[in-house]
Each structure stands twice: as C-alpha cells, then as structure tokens.
Amino acid sequence: TAGAAAAMVWFRKGLRVHDNPALDAARRGAARVYPVFVLDPRYLRPDPAAHSPGSARAGVARVRFLLESLSDLDAGLRRLGSRLLLLRARDDVPDALCAALRDWNIGKLCFEADTEPYALARDKRVTDFAAALGIEVFTPVSHTLFDPAEIIEKNGGRPPLTYQSFLAIAGEPPKPVMAEYSELPLIGDTGEYELLPVPKLEELGYGDISQENISPFRGGETEALKRMRESLQDKEWVSMFEKPKGDPSAFLKPATTVLSPYLKFGCLSSRYFYHCIQEVYRSTKKHTKPPVSLTGQLLWRDFFYTVSFGTLSFDHMKGNKICKQIPWRQNEELFVAWRDGRTGYPWIDAIMIQLRKWGWMHHLARHSVACFLTRGDLFIHWEKGRDVFERLLIDSDWAINNGNWLWLSCSSFFYQYHRIYSPISFGKKYDPNGDYIRHFIPVLKDMPKEYIYEPWTAPLSVQEKARCIVGRDYPKPVVDHEAASKECRKRMGEAYASNRLGGNTVNGKTSESSR
C-alpha cells in the first residue's frame, strides 16, 4: 500500500465531494487514498480577549460553520467507503501535513489550488517538501470559475481592472467535473496517528455559546446543495434576478441566495452552481445578464479573485497601485461604536449586530455600514472595517472582502464619492415599519415607526412609553449625518485632487455602480 499506490487528497476549502477534481485525481490509479484536513490553530484557537466570541481571526459563527462542513464532508466520504482524517496542527499546518506525507509514504498529493497570500505561502512549503521527497503533486483550479493566473496571462500579464474587460477575456467557464463513482479506495494504514472525530465547539475550548449567538445557516455540502436547489426552483426569480435590486432588510427570507458561505468553504462548487443556473436559463424565455444577473454575481466573485491575485498589496492602501491614497483619520471611540453596533443609528447598528450574530448580511446592508465607516460619515480607514468583516462574516473571503471594501470606500473600482447612503432614509425605503431593526435591537422594539430610524427625535414621553430613553437605553448618534457626510465629501475631494497631483492615478473613472 506504499509508494505511488498511496495518494493523499488534502482538503482546505473545497469541502465537498461533487465537482472535486483533486479528489477525483487522487482516487484514479491509487490503491489507497488518505483524505486529510488539518485543523489550523491560526483560525481556531479561542481568543478570550477578542471583542466577541471566537478566535483572533474567526468569529464563533464561522468556526461552527467549518466544523459542520467537516462533519458533513466526513459523512459524504463515509458513504463512499472512506472517511475524513483530521489532523491537529500544534502550531503550523505544513509541519503536520508534511509529517503525514512522510509517515504514510504518500506517492501522490492532490489539493485544490488557492490564491490567497497566506495559502500560497503555506502551500509552497508543502510542495517544496513533496518535491524533495519525489512525491507527485496535482493542484487543479476548482474554487473559481476560471484560473486567475490564466486570465492575467491572457491580459498581457496584468489583471483586467474593470468587470467588462474581465468578461471580454474570460469567455465561458469550464464545465464542472461530475465524475460518477460509488466508492473510494480504502484509506491506508495510519500507524500511530490518532484518528479524531470532528471536534465540537466546546472541545475546541469555546465554552458554552448562548443560543442567541447562533447563525441560522448550517454548514456542509448537503445543506449547500439543498439550498441551491431551493433557490433554483423558482425559475422566474432566477431568470429575473437583478442586483442591486432586492430588499436588504429581509431577514426571515433573505432577498438573495445566501450561498456565499458555502462558496467560501467550497461546500458548493461555483462551476456547478453556474452550470445549474444556465440550465434554468435554458428553460425560460428570457433572463437578466451580467453584471446584474445571478451568473453575473459569480462573475463578480471571479473578477475580484483575479484582480486580487494579480495586485501587489491588494489588502492594503499603502503600496497598492490600484488604491487611492486617502488620509483616513484615527478615532478608536467612533470605530468601536461602529464595530459594536452602538452608533445611535438603528439601521447601521442592526446590520452590525446581524453581522456579529449571524455572520451574514445582505449586500446592500454591507454597502450601508461600509460607506458609513469610511467615506460616508466616520472617515475611518477601510482596512479597519475590512478586519471586522474578515473576522465575523461566515462567508469571509480574502479577495471578495478586500475588493468590496476598496470599492465602497471609493479607494478603487468605484469613484463616485459624492453618492453617500443615508443611515436614515435608505433602510426606511425598504422597511418603513423597522421590523429588521426591532428584531436585531430588541430595546427599540416598542419605538413607534415614525421614530424608529431616528429615535433621538422622539419626544421624551414617547421614549418613556417605549421604555427606551435615548442616551441611557440606546445611544445618541455618534455624529450628525448631515454635517459628517458634508465633511467627508470635502475630504474625499481633497484626497482625490492630491492623488492626481501625486500621479497615483487609477485606471480612469468607471461607472460600474450596478452591483
């Protein structure tokens, strides 16, 4: 069972059996296949000092989503006569993986290619080790529709910086690899290794997580496929899908698919999803087109993967050639008020509380709070907001999150900084009664709808009756929106002017606001 006959499939993202070219390659010609996932302390070690439950890098909702996804993957592999081998890295994932490669005498290693900086460094250490041992390595692209490196090459070595230029190069994505097989080769001898079941949250040291802090979205491939099929059942909805239309305050039945966490962990293949949407299109008379259509959303995802892969310091302002240099201000107090949902603007606070509890909010809700933190009201650095999203979102995705923060802060891609979301009237347009706010901020639940978006304007008698005194039970607004947004526009105008003088130009202005 040794040598070339033993293959390892190393799961990181791509937590699925369907459309999994790495798994498919590992099983072909191998007498034994070891399906491995290494628990990474970088993301999993609890951090009691963090501002909300979780590790330093991941909120508890995402940790939980990952554990559920691993259990489901294990169940999927067991149906094929195999199982998931969980390894626990003491400090470092490559060390743990390389030890297993050596100890199990693996001849072929297969894993899905990754484009994030952390993953690239990690994977290089593993592939260098494998090369030294003469292990064959296969790393197919299957997390995205296209291979970002290939698109960059086709574009003359630079990433296309607009969606339209990206589309012009991309063409049609490859078909998913839906190999039909009913069993996998058995796993090989695992020697001294202790085979752990997928741990529970408490076993990782997270203690008792209150029911209140539990996201309604369950992890795993089974749930992903079920959710996708349910979304695609309504053919009319799929073919008429148009973003950014849709109600950001809908939370009982969100206005979009909520497939992002499944795509993030690869519980759902983006190629399979794309292919299934195309099938729906074929059965309907007409359908919307990118950038607003549902396939258009998946193309946005690939767009950001490509730009991020080809841009040095994509996740920073400094040293990032496509990012406007803006003198954001430091203000810890305002930042913490934003992060903790205590700005005194119920629309903003409800969104930030939904983020902390659920790890997911509607796209336009993300727009609202990102604009508010940066160029709309507080003039705080987008990197600070990015960090909060990166930790708390269950769909937290390096390329997409950074790309959208660059966009919303008018640092790149989108430059109409005078267009600012009102923290009062924007939400009211969709949800005049304030049901969304009442759900996520219970202290405001009895505030009459006339005041729910601006509780500080309610007469004291009304506040008393609603048992919510502004300044005591709910904060006063941290800034005056009218004055703050005016000041922000002025600062943005100055920053843009000095960027022009300093020669830090970004590829002209685009008017791609239809996201």
Q: Is residue 275 a contact residue for ligand FAD (CB under 6 A)?
A: no
Q: Name which position in 69, 105, 257, 311 contacts ligand FAD (CB under 6 A).
A: 257
Q: Is residue 126 a contact residue for ligand FAD (CB under 6 A)?
A: no
Q: Which residue has the tokens 């992903």?
A: 224
Residue 289 or residue 476: which is nearer to ligand FAD going by CB? 289
Q: Is residue 408 a contact residue for ligand FAD (CB under 6 A)?
A: yes
Q: Is residue 437 a contact residue for ligand FAD (CB under 6 A)?
A: no
Spatial strand order of the sheet with 32-39 comes to 85-88, 32-39, 3-11, 106-110, 136-138
Q: Is residue 258 a contact residue for ligand FAD (CB under 6 A)?
A: yes
Cα-Cα-Cα-Cα dihedral sign, residues 356, 360, 361, 363: positive
Residue 287 or residue 367: which is nearer to ligand FAD going by CB? 367
Q: How far apart are CA 25 and CA 21, in angstroms?
A: 6
The residue range among 198-206, 259-267, 329-337, 444-452 that interacts with ligand FAD, by the rule CB under 6 A, is 259-267
Cα-Cα-Cα-Cα dihedral sign, residues 274, 369, 336, 407: positive
Q: Is residue 428 a contact residue for ligand FAD (CB under 6 A)?
A: no
Q: Name which position in 72, 383, 395, 454 contacts ligand FAD (CB under 6 A).
A: 395
Q: Name which position in 298, 353, 378, 470 contacts ligand FAD (CB under 6 A).
A: 298
Q: Is residue 371 a contact residue for ligand FAD (CB under 6 A)?
A: no
Q: How far apart are CA 377 and CA 390, in angstroms?
A: 21
Q: Name which position in 12, 62, 83, 264 contacts ligand FAD (CB under 6 A).
A: 264
Q: Name which position in 8, 44, 66, 400 contacts ligand FAD (CB under 6 A).
A: 400
Cα-Cα-Cα-Cα dihedral sign, residues 412, 417, 419, 424: positive
Q: Which residue has the tokens 């796993």?
A: 187
Q: Is residue 366 a contact residue for ligand FAD (CB under 6 A)?
A: yes
Q: How far apart are CA 169 and CA 458, in angstroms?
A: 55
What Å distances lie between residue 250 and 220, 243, 298, 364, 365, CA to CA?
24, 15, 22, 11, 10
What Å distances lie between residue 338 and 225, 240, 335, 380, CA to CA?
35, 35, 5, 10
Residue 32 or residue 143: which is nearer to ligand FAD going by CB? 143
For the beta carbon of residue 417, count every other beta carbon within 10 angstroms: 22
Residue 13 or residue 264: which is nearer to ligand FAD going by CB? 264
Task: Summarize as ranges the residues that interact with ligand FAD (CB under 6 A).
Answer: 243, 256-260, 263-264, 297-298, 300-301, 304, 362-363, 366-367, 370, 389, 393, 395-397, 400-401, 404-405, 408, 515
